[in-house]
Amino acid sequence: MGRLDGKVALITGGASGFGATASQIFAREGAKVMVTDKNDKGAAKVAKSIGDAATSMAHDVTREAEWKAVVDATVESFGGVHVLMNNAGVFGSGAPQSIEDISLEEWRFVNDINMDGVFLGCRAVIGAMAKSGGGSIVNISSIAGIRATPDIVAYGASKGAVRQLTKSVAVYCGRKGYKIRCNSIHPGMVRTPLGDDVLKHSWGDADKGAKERLKGIPLGELGTVEDIANAALYFASDESRYVTGAELVIDGGVLYSR
């Protein structure tokens, strides 16, 4: 018996990283999965690797109309929706992100995807999820959403917004009686495409940056995509039925060691 038997999950940013791994793990645990990504070929490849339990769609999370289309297609394909993993995100374009140097264009680019995309997803899925009998929204934030990020101010601010939005959605849905939970995951350093962008921004080279980051991790190793996907699995499953508005830090001890 799978931990997600009978559930339908919608996972954004599913072409790579956390989203791709979560799609595979969720399906292995019995879920039907809608894999979405702006990279539609990548999303289709992940869905194909899963088989009949998954399908995919091209999806720009900043576009309100596309959210409606994706939620409708998920319900049409699998009969409902019980899990939303808001995973799609960016680090930035590579432009400066200190408060003095960042452009308004860069600020809006990062927040449009990381913050507005999560807002649109939460709002779009609530109705369908309530009709499906309830479920779980899992928002991927970052330890950057908890700590100061003076050199990556847009990224940190966007992830901080996800942290706060998660708690507001959790309380709202609880008070409405929707049986929808909402929790956030806060990864530390993991070698995903986004993680490598962070390392390149700080050290110029991802491999060099990874070695430098290791020095500050109490557990002495970087995280893996499986670490994050397994946490999402817990939040998606009924094992976390009494958990909402929570934030789970997965960073090897970095956040609380300074």
Closest to 154 in 3D by CA, of 105, 111, 193: 111
Is residue 155 among the annotated active site residues?
yes
193 C-beta neighbours (distance < 10 Å), count: 13
Tell me if 125 sits within 8 A of 69, measured CB to CB.
Answer: no
Angle between helices 225-236 and 17-28 (to 10 degrees): 50
Q: Which two tokens stand for residue 37?
A: 């990504």
Is-contact 254 147, C-beta < 8 A? no
Query: Residue 97: beta bridge partners?
Result: 152
Task: Compute the Cα dihedral for 111, 63, 105, 88 and give only its sign.
Answer: positive
123, 168 in Cβ contact below 8 A?
A: no
* Residue among 155, 172, 178, 256 flagged as catalytic: 155
Residues marked active site are found at: 155
